[in-house]
Structure 1
Amino acid sequence: MRGFLRKALATAALLALTAGAQAKETVVWWDFLGGGDGVRMKKLIEDFNTDHKDTIEIQATTLDWGTPFYSKVQTSAAVGAGPDLMTYHSSRIPLAVGQDTLTEITPEDMTVMGLSEASFAKAPWAAVHVDGKQYAVPFDQHPIVLYYNKDKLAAAGLIGDDGLPKGLNGVDNFAAAMKKLQDGGTKYGLATVTANGDFAYRTFYSLLCQQGGVVGGDGNWLPGDNLQKMVNAVQVEADWVKNGHAPANTDYPSTVALFTTGDAAMMVNGVWEVPTMTDLQAQGKLFNWGAIELPVLFDKPCTYSDSHTFAIPNNKGKPQTPEKHAAVLEVIKWMEDHALFWATAGHIPANKAVTDSAEYKAMQPQATYAPLTANMIYDPQSKFAGVASPLFDAAGNALTPAINGEVDVTTAVTEFRDTLNDLQ
């Protein structure tokens, strides 16, 4: 009898263990995050797994940013081999929808997560919708900003009583400020990417919008007087290079190096470089610095932005079980609840509960440039637009020579437009 009882208890324990193992869901996760934001995302994943050690485990893989990531997602989802959840740029969602690569996020999903339209800033919320359907949950807004060396700007009289840069608005004023900084001994007034027109497109798009212009869309790119407005935008940066305020043919790493070594007093770059500055300063290797919204060089404030989002691939022939889907929604909800930590990567959380919090408003320089969310512009909703897209490729090919004075700006912008209009 005792032997039978021991055997029965052992069997019950094994069944309980097996049931427990089956109850724990694994969420296969893909992202493209490197550098400072990659470090922070890995920490978020680690913390999530700790908090859910008995119920859900994220198994994360980081893939190469850009075209390699999106190509792998498309091909993998088509054969049912994609992840359960992934990060995705909102600017790439229209193309993904056209390829049937993404699963719709339903109103019921949002209710389960306790989220709604009211939870998010307007621009990133709009960017995850195509034809009235939602295909991702916004996590952040990552615009370009103007980084500046506080010490150099103060010495040049370009810091106001509020401790922020002054005298930078207007094309001529900005050029005069750069010259003043250089007259004071700084090699360059500004570091910005000039070897890659695809990155510089972010600046051009901002300056186009500052004139009230639009890029347009499929088959009608730079309509009306927008070609001339884009010419005006590109000419600004071409003049920076021509007049020696910014160096020619400078790639991304060199741009960052010019600023962090003090050879350039300002830098146009994405908010994702905030961790670089924060970490260097913590190590005692960087000057006093700050970051602000792009100056208004034309008529109104406007800045290019994109968003990281959470998306669920449409794995053909392998739909998620209810249990798996519930686990995926729990991951998204948890990440949204912990977006304040993500803000340390420089990004502006899309979740208004975070950006409205006292903790975020005390975060610098994030809180200083956060108001630019009211002035952001996203890529047009087109299968040809977004990061690592034909639009970016066309900008790189046509506009890089114009920035560096090798081709007439009007000729380059016309080529840019015509290349886009030829896309089918």
Structure 2
Amino acid sequence: MIDTRINRRSVLAGGLAAAGMAALAGCTPAQSSQTTTLQFWHLLSGGDGVALQGLIDQVNASHSEFHVRPTVLAWGAPYYTKLSMAGAGGRAPELAVMHSSRVPGYVPGGLLDPWDLERLSALGVDESTFTEPVWSSSVVDGQLYSVALDAHPFIALYNTEICEEAGALDSDGRLLRPDNPEDFFEMCREIAGVTGAHGLSYGFIGDGMQMWRLFYTLYCQHGERMTFPEGGTVEVDEDAFIASLEFMHTLADGEITAERGTIDSAIAEFAAQRSGIHFTGVWELPAMQSAGVPVGATMIPPFFGEEAVYADSHSFVLPHQADPDEQAREYTYTVVADLLKNSLTWAEAGHIPAYLPITEKPEYAQLTPQSNYAAAADHLVYDPVAWFTGSGSNFVQQFGQIVGNPIVSGSGYEEALTRFRSYVNSLLAQPNPADPQGERS
């Protein structure tokens, strides 16, 4: 019997312990005085941290002329604050990981250096080796400022045994993908009849990021995209905004999903096999496999017509250095190319490798259920570009504060839209704090 007390913290505990062991295992003897040390900052812990350390170990084992020395910093605001300070002072590491959604806010202040396309191309990395959404997310003002390692979309995990009993699988044994809300709601109720609890696990209470991930997926399924023009006013479609909130309210009816579920309770419920579907990030897949769940995975169905998958990417950036060592920088390009070319193991953590030659390998096609949602890479939608958006930002938490009550109560949608517009417009009127030259007339 599976422990129903499982939650994200307990799931990650084993990964963190393994990360410590991997770090020890990755230690190498003292480097030669001729070896160049490359400082590499990132914010990945748990299973992701273990996987990345394995890739770094491979790179170090293949090169004697340089050694990558990773430093793991706390996820979220602490990481981005320290990275911006390092870039502003010109004393940054040779390489760092950022979420693609955060990169545009760092470029105007000169906190990042652009990638040299010719150098990358010589190493087999160019626009043709990424999907259009991934490549476009890396370009700011016509220059490439990040190189994506992956795409980590918001998807639907599903329990194959429960969903089969509920008649929710197609002839290939994959989850049905209704093209309208009503059919999906009915499917979830059929699944709830099998579990005796809920059809869907989706937690959002107190978590603006969770609300935003699902909301923006639904919003973009309407064929709409929000735009946040610098110094202007937010462009948002009223009908798509309200319809997305109404959908989220209907989910939380106590039968389809819990009325006041949190992300931890949703993870625990699906791991305990008391629901058939789980809306979550791809990073939860390994934990569910470890918990013994017979798990499949797919893109969230196109309820409102268009395939759209909210996502972000872990991407490599060159933090600004006032006087970069050109040899070290050359080695840094080699490191990134090597990490991309060995990223099949990264897919085991649930992420979609951004480097297309990896997803085209027969070995990737055999990796299930990861390969079953690889097509999501062609339908990714990232956060609206602005200095204040992106993973771990205050923006997503404030969004949760604005729409949380309407989602629970089923009323006040228009007021929420008015508050959202006002909030975003107030930010658009402010200068980018990362840009020392930024001013508003």
Instruction: Return closer, same or farther for 1:43/1:239 CA change in 2, 3 Å cut-off.
Output: same
How far the C-alpha of 1:418 sits from its partner, in A, is: 1.7
**SS of equivalent residue, structure 2 residue 179:** coil
Partner of residue 95 from structure 1, selected from 91, 105, 125 = 105
Partner of residue 307 from structure 2, selected from 284, 296, 301 = 301
Q: Is the 8 A contact 1:37 1:275 kept in 2?
A: no
Q: What is aligned with 2:51?
A: 40
Partner of residue 289 from structure 1, selected from 286, 295, 301 = 295
Equivalent residue runs for 1:213-252 within 5 Å: 213-218=224-229, 219-223=232-236, 226-252=237-263
Alignment TM-score, normalising by the size of structure 2: 0.86
Q: Output the CA distance in 2 between the equivalents of 1:58 and 1:134.
A: 23
Partner of residue 130 from structure 1, selected from 119, 137, 140 = 140
Let me know the Cα RMSD of the aligned residues: 1.7
Q: Is the 8 A contact 1:187 1:264 kept in 2?
A: yes
Partner of residue 121 from structure 2, selected from 93, 111, 120 = 111
Alignment TM-score, normalising by the size of structure 1: 0.89
1:334 paired with 2:338, answer yes
How far the C-alpha of 1:407 sits from its partner, in A, is: 5.5
Equivalent residue runs for 1:21-100 within 5 Å: 21-52=32-63, 54-100=64-110
Q: Output the CA distance in 2 between the equivalents of 1:265 and 1:243.
A: 15
**Range 63-72 or range 78-87, more displaced:** 78-87
1:415 paired with 2:426, answer no
Instruction: Return closer, same or farther for 1:418/1:367 CA change in 2, 3 Å cut-off.
Output: same
Q: What is aligned with 1:363?
A: 367
Q: Output the CA distance in 2 between the equivalents of 1:230 and 1:51.
A: 51
Q: What is aligned with 1:207?
A: 218
Instruction: Return closer, same or farther for 1:32/1:186 CA change in 2, 3 Å cut-off.
Output: farther
Q: Output the CA distance in 2 between the equivalents of 1:368 and 1:231.
A: 31
Q: 1:326 is matched by which residue type in structure 2?
A: E
Q: Output the CA distance in 1 between the equivalents of 2:55 and 2:196.
A: 40
Instruction: Return closer, same or farther for 1:92/1:383 CA change in 2, 3 Å cut-off.
Output: same
How far the C-alpha of 1:254 sits from its partner, in A, is: 2.1
Q: What is aligned with 1:5?
A: none
Q: Output the CA distance in 2 between the equivalents of 1:326 and 1:193.
A: 45
Per-residue displacement from partner, 1:275-309 (whole Å, max 9, x unpaired)? 212333xxxxx231111011111112111111111
Return 5+ residue gaps in structure 2 as ranges. 1-30, 431-441
How far the C-alpha of 1:167 sits from its partner, in A, is: 5.7
Which structure's CA Rg is the greater one? 1
Q: Output the CA distance in 1 between the equivalents of 2:286 and 2:235.
A: 35
Moved over 3 A (4+): none
**SS of equivalent residue, structure 2 residue 199:** strand
Partner of residue 378 from structure 1, selected from 354, 376, 382 = 382
How far the C-alpha of 1:406 sits from its partner, in A, is: 7.5
Instruction: Return closer, same or farther for 1:35/1:249 CA change in 2, 3 Å cut-off.
Output: farther
How far the C-alpha of 1:368 sits from its partner, in A, is: 0.5
Per-residue displacement from partner, 1:131-182 (whole Å, max 9, x unpaired)? 1011111111111110111111111111111111126331001111111112
**SS of equivalent residue, structure 1 residue 88:** strand
Q: Output the CA distance in 1 between the equivalents of 2:208 and 2:120.
A: 38
How far the C-alpha of 1:111 sits from its partner, in A, is: 3.0
How far the C-alpha of 1:69 sits from its partner, in A, is: 0.9
**Range 329-338 or range 380-389, more displaced:** 380-389
Q: Output the CA distance in 2 between the equivalents of 1:197 and 1:350.
A: 26
Return 5+ residue gaps in structure 1 as ranges. 1-19, 281-285
Q: Output the CA distance in 2 between the equivalents of 1:97 and 1:414.
A: 30
Q: Output the CA distance in 1 between the equivalents of 2:394 and 2:211.
A: 15
Q: Is the 8 A contact 2:226 2:384 kept in 1?
A: yes
Instruction: Return closer, same or farther for 1:228/1:418 CA change in 2, 3 Å cut-off.
Output: farther
Q: What is aligned with 1:168?
A: 178
Equivalent residue runs for 1:267-286 within 5 Å: 267-280=278-291, 286=292
Q: Is the 8 A contact 1:151 1:287 kept in 2?
A: no
Identity of aligned residues (%): 28
Q: 1:118 is matched by which residue type in structure 2?
A: S
